[in-house]
């Protein structure tokens, strides 16, 4: 049988596709139809060894190249991604079920931005410092870490492969990337493009695998750093395993972020922000503002307009350019989201709209209606746990101090947002919110120029911006003695 999106082989190692059928089967399923579109194999220990050995062998020569030369290759990869945007976006839609309307503007393009940005700053972002010490002096160098491992989640497979790969390569490292077992396809395309752009073989390797494969990478003695995008429980396991050999780690984990809407806000803009921050990518975005705190005076109007706009969302075939909301990534995720919706109903939240399976789509697809709950209270399960689906919880509040305290009353600290016309208040509030990435009068915009990452249980380390280069390199300090050594003995 010919499968719609079957890659040449499961893994991409040392500049070429590699297969090892001894690995357990990973089926890639198109979430809109339930159809198997590719059949791959998880990496065996031999494949893991092969990928890490290739990376280890290739890295010294790469790090000895001038940063400008490294950057040129990354920028070329950005150009190829843009030229192939349509094809890559269709692949991303098949991999994730996200509508083509989104993938065509948000997925390969954000990966290309990332290669372009890190290609551009490779030459300027890795400089050290000169430290005068009287006659003596010292200088610092920013040096690569060596072999870095990237482990991805399934919501942005191509973007995550680029967000980890670009800064790692710009800083002179080699990477072994393992995509999520739910979305194995996009990263292989990124590896191919990097090599087409002239990346020497062995520097960006992709291996498939699941939760059994990840630890083989994290525990490997030749790996210097692990960057994970995933859930908090996985983050705890990976950080604990990495601690055993004191590896560098970046943790991009989950969230339950507050989005606070004051009664002086532009209400339509705030609704737009709340909808983007709950329904984009069918709600499968870590930084989503899933606890929408609305000041009581505007509650009725906010809910009325939100309901109308939510019910107008076009749900359907992700390959149709008119579709605005696709299915969940997997049957398991669909079930999880539906069970949270049932908990919301059972615990007394008011269902404003949605709350089930849409009736205009095939029963084989993993669809869930965009859902809004009002009268949600802080103790409800849907207000405390990350749902990772199109479920918006609207909570009421009266005053500023109260909403800040309630916004912060969570173990997570990924993101937060504030909508208000009072700019002084906006800055005062974001100053007190405990989160890594915050927005005022907009939500969820993450261009590559700004650092992205979490605090508290949402993780540590930052992706994007100059900050990411620091997380893929370390300082070497050199003290230079300019006179004779004076020894007391």
215 binds ligand NAD (CB under 6 A): yes
DSSP count for the chain of H helices, then E strands: 16, 22
Q: Return the DSSP state at 453.
A: -
Q: Does 234 bind ligand NAD (CB under 6 A)?
A: yes
Question: What residues are paired with 356 via a beta bridge?
Answer: none
Give the interface segment with ligand NAD, choosing from 98-106, 198-206, 224-232, 420-428 (CB under 6 A): 224-232
Residue 319 phi, psi dihedral angles, 5° rounding:
-80, -10
The total number of residues written for the chain in this structure: 489
Measured on CA atoms in the order 303, 308, 314, 316, is the torsion positive or negative?
positive
Active site residue 336: no
Place of tokens 């500023």: 400
Interface residue with ligand NAD, options 231, 269, 381, 441 (CB under 6 A): 231
Select from 8-16, 26-34, 176-184, 474-482 the region that touches ligand NAD (CB under 6 A).
176-184
- How many angstroms separate the Cα of 270 from the Cα of each of 275, 280, 303? 9, 15, 11
Known active-site residue 456: no
Chain residue at closest Cβ approach to ligand NAD? 214
- Which of 114, 148, 162, 286 is flagged as catalytic? 286
Q: Which of 211, 297, 304, 476 binds ligand NAD (CB under 6 A)?
A: 211
Torsion of CA 421, 422, 424, 428, to 10 degrees: -80
114 noted as active-site residue: no
Which residue in the list 102, 252, 386, 434 is annotated as catalytic?
252
Going residue by residue from 240 to 259, which x/- string records binding to ligand NAD, judged by CB under 6 A?
------------xxxx----
- Identify the CA nearest to 372 among candidates 322, 364, 360, 387: 387
Closer residue to ligand NAD, CB minimum distance, 101 or 234: 234
Q: Are 113 and 448 in contact (CB under 8 A)?
A: yes
Chosen residue from 230, 277, 355, 461 binding ligand NAD by CB under 6 A: 230
Burial category of 435 from C-beta neighbours within 10 Å (exposed 0-12, middle 13-18, buried 19 and up): buried
Which residue out of 164, 225, 247, 299 is catalytically annotated? 164
H helical segments located in 376-422 = 381-384, 400-408
Shortest distance, position 217 Cβ to ligand NAD, whole Å: 7
x-marked contacts with ligand NAD along 146-165 as a string, rule CB under 6 A: -----xxxxx----------
Nearer to ligand NAD, 10 or 234 (CB): 234
**Cβ distance to ligand NAD smaller for residue 60 or 447:** 447
Task: Tell me which residues in 369-398 interact with ligand NAD (CB under 6 A).
Answer: 386, 388
Q: Which CB atom, from 104 or from 238, has the smaller least distance to ligand NAD?
A: 238
Looking at beta carbons only, is 218 or 352 nearer to ligand NAD? 218
Which is nearer to ligand NAD, 30 or 154 (by Cβ)? 154
For 9, 30, 129, 237, 478, the CA distances from 249, given in Å and listed in that order, are 29, 32, 25, 12, 25
CB of 69 to ligand NAD, least distance (A): 30
Among the listed residues 168, 175, 218, 325, the single contact to ligand NAD using CB under 6 A: 218
Query: How much helix, strand and coil, in percent to the nearest 5, is found in the chain?
Result: 40, 20, 40
Catalytic annotation present for 178: no
Nearer to ligand NAD, 302 or 452 (CB): 452
**Stretch binding ligand NAD (CB under 6 A), from 55-63, 130-138, 226-234, 305-313:** 226-234
Minimum distance of ligand NAD from residue 183's CB (angstroms): 8
Query: In degrees rounded to 5, what are phi and psi of residue 112?
Result: -65, -40
Q: Which residue, 171 or 218, has its beta carbon nearer to ligand NAD?
A: 218
* C-beta of 63 vs 96, nearer to ligand NAD: 96
Least distance in Å: CB of 288 to ligand NAD?
8
* Cα→Cα distances 134→96, 131, 476, 483, Å: 59, 10, 21, 11
| Shortest Å distance, C-beta 393 to ligand NAD | 16
Place of tokens 């003596």: 136
Rounded-to-integer distance, Cα 479 and Cα 243, Å: 30
- Convert residues 267-306 into a mask of x (bound to ligand NAD by CB under 6 A) and - (unbound): -------------------x--------------------
Q: Choosing from 192, 386, 463, 470, which is the catalytic residue?
A: 463
Q: Which residues touch 212 (CB under 8 Å, ≥6 apart)? A: 42
Phi-psi sector, 110: left (phi>0), alpha (psi -120 to 50), beta: alpha
Residue 43: CB minimum distance to ligand NAD, A: 11
Here the tokens at position 206 are: 């992709």
Q: 227 near 385, Cβ under 8 Å?
A: no
> Would you name the residues annotated as active-site residues?
164, 252, 286, 463
Q: Which residues bind ligand NAD (CB under 6 A)?
A: 151-155, 178, 180-181, 210-211, 214-215, 218, 229-231, 234, 237-238, 252-255, 286, 386, 388, 414, 454, 459
């Amino acid at each position: 049988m010919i499968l719609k999106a079957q890659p040449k082989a499961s893994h991409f190692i040392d500049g070429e596709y590699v297969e090892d059928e001894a690995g357990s089967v990973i089926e890639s399923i198109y979430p809109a139809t339930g159809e198997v579109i590719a059949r791959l194999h998880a990496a065996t220990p031999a494949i893991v060894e092969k990928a890490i050995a290739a990376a280890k062998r290739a890295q010294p020569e790469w790090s000895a190249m001038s940063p400008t030369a490294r950057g040129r290759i990354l920028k070329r990869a950005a150009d190829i991604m843009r030229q192939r945007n349509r094809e890559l976006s269709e692949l991303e839609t098949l991999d994730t079920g996200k509508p083509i309307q989104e993938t065509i503007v948000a997925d390969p393009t954000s990966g290309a931005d990332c290669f372009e940005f890190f290609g551009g700053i490779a030459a300027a972002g890795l400089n050290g410092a000169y430290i005068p010490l009287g006659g003596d002096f010292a200088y610092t160098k920013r040096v690569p870490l060596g072999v870095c491992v990237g482990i991805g989640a399934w919501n942005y497979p191509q973007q995550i492969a680029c967000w980890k790969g670009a800064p790692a390569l710009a800083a002179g490292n080699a990477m072994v990337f393992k995509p999520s077992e739910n979305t194995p396809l996009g990263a292989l395309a990124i590896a191919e493009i990097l090599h087409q752009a002239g990346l020497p073989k062995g520097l960006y390797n992709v291996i498939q695998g699941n939760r059994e494969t990840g630890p083989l990478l994290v525990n490997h003695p030749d790996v210097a750093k692990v960057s994970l995008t995933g859930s908090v429980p996985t983050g705890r396991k990976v950080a604990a395993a990495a601690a055993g050999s004191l590896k560098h780690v970046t943790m991009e984990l989950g969230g339950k972020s507050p989005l606070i809407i004051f009664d002086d806000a532009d209400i339509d803009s705030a609704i737009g922000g709340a909808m983007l921050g709950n329904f984009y990518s069918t709600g499968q975005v870590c930084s989503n503002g899933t606890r929408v705190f609305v000041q009581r005076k505007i509650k009725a109007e906010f809910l009325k307009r939100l309901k109308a706009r939510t019910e107008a969302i076009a749900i359907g075939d992700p390959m149709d350019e008119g579709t605005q909301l696709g299915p969940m990534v997997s049957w398991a995720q669909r079930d999880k989201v539906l069970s949270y919706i049932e908990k919301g109903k059972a615990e007394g939240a008011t269902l404003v709209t949605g709350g089930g399976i849409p009736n205009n789509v095939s029963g084989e697809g993993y669809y869930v209606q965009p859902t809004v709950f009002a009268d949600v209270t802080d103790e409800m399960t849907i207000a405390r746990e990350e749902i990772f689906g199109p479920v918006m919880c609207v909570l009421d509040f009266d005053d500023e101090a109260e909403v800040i305290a309630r916004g912060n009353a969570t173990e997570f600290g990924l993101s937060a947002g504030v909508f208000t016309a009072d700019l002084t208040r906006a800055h005062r509030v974001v100053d007190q919110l405990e989160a890594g990435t915050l927005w005022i009068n907009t939500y969820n915009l993450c261009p590559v120029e700004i650092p992205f990452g979490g605090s508290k249980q949402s993780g540590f380390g930052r992706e994007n911006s100059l900050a990411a280069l620091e997380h893929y390199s370390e300082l070497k300090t050199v003290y230079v003695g300019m006179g004779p050594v004076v020894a007391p003995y």
